[in-house]
Structure 1
Amino acid sequence: TMSGNRYEDCCTVLNSINDTKTAPQELVESQQKAVMSTWWSLVQAFWKRFGPDPIREEKLTEAIKQWCLEVTKDYEAVSVCDFTSSWRDGYAFNCLLHSF
């Protein structure tokens, strides 16, 4: 079933980022706090692996914010100013993914 696949996918994602606090079912049910927490963990994991060398030593949240601003600057409807309201509708995140 579709939810069975989603559940398994969520388990895989949570295991890959070593998240033991979030239940896979919370992601399947689209619980906002769980989704945002998992998203943040994914961003941190990718930053640690693929972030540019010159700014890797900056405070992670500030460096990621600057990186998000740079990557999404060509998308007119995106305004990344924080890690809460700027991401609520999912558009900034989709633009971030689309940039790759």
Structure 2
Amino acid sequence: RNNRPSPIAAESGPGNIPDEQRALASLQQKAIETFVRRNSHTDISERKDPLNALQVKNGGSKRNALLKWCQQKTLGYSNIDITNFSSSWNDGMALCALLHSYLGDSRVHYASLSPHDKRTNFSVAFAAAESVGIPTTLNIQDMIQQERPDWQQVMAYVTSIYKHFET
């Protein structure tokens, strides 16, 4: 009798996968790695900069995309005309309207606010934001005293509101 293994048994044994199966497994592995890499990059990039998705949606710069989002969220609110991230935010009404659009009257009783009472408006806005975990990065005194608050600081704070509610 011949004690050599048959060629068929050698081809189908463990560790001896036919070439077609090996090629298919390799393609599947590459597809999985590509999928993970693409999705991980998107997730990481949006975590690093939450405005990426908004910029893609609204086009233009990130600043203008965020400004457009603010305008859409506050549409129909009285005493609101958001055209920039400085003077449009100097009385606290825009922040209150933006937060009211998410939190409602339970946290921001918008109808009772007045553009002439800046301190109350900012206090209400910051308290409402903090109640849902958004830290206050603006100073009430600075916001009250300046006709044109620092647009970068205001935009950073509004970005934190966007990130909290939209991402």
Q: Quick check: TM above 0.5?
A: no
Question: TM-score normalised to the size of structure 1?
Answer: 0.44
